[in-house]
Structure 1
Amino acid sequence: MSPLPATIPALVRTRVRAAVRRPARLTPEEAEARTLLLRLCSLLLQYPDADLAAARPVLTSSVAALPPSPAARQLAAFTDWFTRQETDALERHYVEMFDLRRKSSLYLTYYLHGDTRRRGMALLTLAQRYRAAGWDTDGGELPDHLPVVLEFAALTGPGRGEAPLRQHRRGLELIHRALTDADSPYRHVLAALITLLPPPTEADLLAVAELAAQGPPNEEVGLDPYGAGEFAPPGAFVPPEQAPPTLARPAETHRQEDR
């Protein structure tokens, strides 16, 4: 979007920009397809344990039934690979991509706040957002885990439901870039998700480049004041077994180490 004239009052400029970035009003059919896309992305980004592996035929047929779109094509490319892999190979690849690489961690607030106390407050705010919408995650995962954020978006809708995704757009771009650099088929799931979001601004792209080069912010003090480890950074927190509606990977795989 080209810059708005400086003569336009600041409040008006802000509202115009917000309108441009706000999701367009959807028809009931479009809303249903979008909800299914978000839920499929949530499922496909969960740890591929035996239950998820067994559901691959249903997931593949659900993707094939989606209306044609760039997002649907990306998910079809992923499920084509997903269905041809042995379960143990899927598990190893998932751990390699999401548990052992900081730049493709699925914990979104890490990219915005890094290992700082601000991350604890961001997690608390996100959990409060879920409760205010009447959604209880049962504490099976941190509230910023991408499959959880996607499930909330699918349940709540494009407005406030997708607000956390828009807020963490830069983190999503970085995950997609890292997965692409690693030639991981999971890049297709992130690409599908990104097609549902407003286009990145120049500031977004610059911030992603800076994150890729320098990493998120860091500080010596931990996040203990916000829950005695409950909101610890990746690598320090071992979440309990995942509860519905999302599926979790085994707790012992939750490590975040630089390659």
Structure 2
Amino acid sequence: MDRTLKALSVMLSYPTRDLQKAMPEIGGILSSDTRLTAATRRALRPLVEELRTRDIYELEEQFVLLFDRSRTLSLNLFEHVHGESRDRGGAMVSLIETYRASGFDPVTSELPDHLPVLLEFLSTRPSSEAQDTLADAAHILEALNARLVRRESPYAAVFASLLQLVGVKADQEAVAEMLAQPDDDPADLTALDEVWEESEVLFGPDPNAGCPQVRDMLARMDMPPTATVPTRSAPNAAAE
């Protein structure tokens, strides 16, 4: 298992007291991974410390404001490609099938394109497959990193770490297109309601039609399983 991908997956999950208890171990995993530069490992420390020591209710509120009430920071990757269109539903059907074909059955209420779920899955796959899959989403990761840096959020360090693990240059035109979208104001609930009142996500028979980025991501993951993957476990399993 790639313990660093697993650790980053857990850090991007909704904060819990179990996560707080696991942070010393998670911090140790990240600080010892030489694939990350010393500067990147240092940049992760403030988030590790915040998740370890900050009041749990403040952590929950911060997470909701960032990732649940701000669509431009959504952790659901296909949303940045398809929005709420039918194509997104089809892409998620293919992703679920890929998970199941590899023996991975995440126990979560999150959608299959939720980044922490994908990272947990990739942590169990060969490193070349994980790297190639994340490379297809590099422009999304870079745009999210830039938005979090703009908000001075310590969560930016997680995305900077993922980009470093990917080791490829993101498509700057695609990044610029994403960053051209105005940031959501999580305090403006009326505006957020209007944004979310779009077409329902439909799971149709035409997976990822017309979307080469999603096709590439799924194609790299559509490989024979090399091992049986255990179901999603508690946050402190990040170091197993």
TM-score computed with the length of structure 2 as normaliser: 0.71
Q: State the SS of the aligned residue for 1:143.
A: coil
CA distance in 2, matches of 1:74, 1:193: 13
Secondary structure at 1:55 match in 2:
helix
| Partner residue in 2 for 1:224 | 202
Structure 1 position 76 matched with structure 2 position 64: no
Which residue does the alignment assign to 1:207?
A: 174
TM-score (norm 1): 0.67
8 Å Cα contact 1:46/1:147 also seen in 2:
yes
Aligned length: 195
Specify the alignment match of 2:115 in structure 1: 146
Change (3 A) 1:225 1:36: closer
Letter matched to residue 59 of structure 1: I
Q: Distance in 2 between matches of 1:129 and 1:157?
A: 15
Using CA pairs below 8 Å that are at least 6 residues apart, which structure has the higher relative contact order?
2
Take 2:169 and 2:78, find their aligned partners in 1: how far apart are those partners?
A: 18
Deviation of the 1:212 alpha carbon: 2.0
Q: Secondary structure of the equivalent of 1:80?
A: helix
Deviation by residue 1:186-215 (Cα, 9 ceiling, x = unmatched): 0011111110113224xx111111122247
**Higher helix proportion:** 2
> Cα distance 1:223–1:86, how it changes in 2: closer, same or farther (>3 A)?
closer
Aligned residues of 2:21 and 2:52 also touching (Cα < 8 A): no
- Conservation of the 8 A alpha-carbon contact between 1:74 and 1:192: no
Distance 1:138 1:176, change over 3 A: same
**Residue 39 in 1 paired to residue 17 in 2?**
no
> Structure 1 residue 162: deviation in Å?
4.1
User: How far did 1:147 drift?
Assistant: 0.6
Deviations 1:46-92 (A, max 9, x none): 11112212222322333334347324333334213333312111111
Residue 194 (1) aligns with residue 194 (2)? no
Following superposition, the deviation at residue 153 of structure 1 comes to 1.0
Q: Distance in 1 between matches of 2:15 and 2:198?
A: 34
Change (3 A) 1:44 1:122: same
Deviates more, 1:93-102 or 1:72-81: 72-81
Which of residues 20, 41, 49 in structure 2 aligns to 1:53? 20
> Per-residue CA shift, 1:139-182, capped at 9, x if unaligned?
53211111111111110122334443222222111211111111
CA contact (8 A) 1:123 1:144 kept: yes
Q: Say which SS state the counterpart of residue 233 (structure 2) adopts.
A: coil
Q: CA 1:151/1:162 → structure 2, altered by over 3 Å: closer, same or farther?
A: farther
Q: List gaps (5 residues or longer) in structure 2.
A: 183-195, 206-230, 236-240
1:93 offset after TM fit, Å?
1.0
Of 84, 89, 93 in structure 2, the residue corresponding to residue 120 of structure 1 is 89
The root-mean-square deviation of aligned C-alpha atoms, in Å, is 2.6
